[in-house]
Structure 1
């Protein structure tokens, strides 16, 4: 089925709880992650080009 990747161009995830989210291989171009909670999120190989990470809580395990 090929390699499937999450793609979010200029998406808004402000004040979103992404606890335990698996963002491996995700493409978040221009994403607004202001105030997002990424507790335990997996961000391996993630592309965060132009992303707004202001106030992001990251407690990666």
Structure 2
């Protein structure tokens, strides 16, 4: 999970940097910024869900 999170985060940052740095049409620029932002947000949710899964107390209990 850590490797996937790092890869998604790096790719999202690359999309944002390229969207701001390159001289491209405004539609392509907006698309690259949206893709980068979405990847970063999904990475944050992935990390939060992983932390919640690890710290879930009820998984160690037996029974219902």
What is the TM-score when the length of structure 2 is the normalising length?
Answer: 0.18
Q: Which has the higher contact order (CA 8 A, sep 6+)?
A: 2
Which of the two has higher C-alpha Rg? 2
